[in-house]
Amino acid sequence: GTTQLRRQMLLPFTVDVNIMSYETCRRLGVAIQPYYGEALAAVSGSADLKPLGTAEVEWSFCGQNKPYRSVFYVVRELEADFILGNPTIKQLELPGTDPAIAKRLLALEQQ
């Protein structure tokens, strides 16, 4: 079976890719696929992140039963467990599932 962990996921709305910490990936026991691309200029205020690879993970929000499946870049230098990129937030229509997400996204788009 698959391992389930309660982890922190950030939705900064300013990041264009999904990122997962190597430690979280290791604890989940998820296979890492090779990545040969460029470093990610993903998180403002931090150095470019060089992915170790990519991993596909099934996840859900605490208190919600609906599972999602997304591919994440796996990096060592990440303080959060997961960062969900803005394109994925919109693709999965997350603003429609949580009023707080919709409110934050709308406020950001009006700046």
Check residue 54 and give its pLDDT. 97
Question: Which amino acid is residue 55, in one-letter code?
Answer: A
Q: Which residue segments constitute the domains of the chain, with CATH numbers given?
A: 9-86 (2.40.70.10)
The pTM assigned to this predicted structure is: 0.81
Q: What is the model's pLDDT at position 26?
A: 93
Q: Return the pLDDT at 69.
A: 93
pLDDT in tens, 52-90: 999 999 988 877 778 899 999 999 878 889 989 988 988
Most distant pair of Cα atoms in the chain: their distance = 45
Hey, is 28 helix, strand or coil? helix
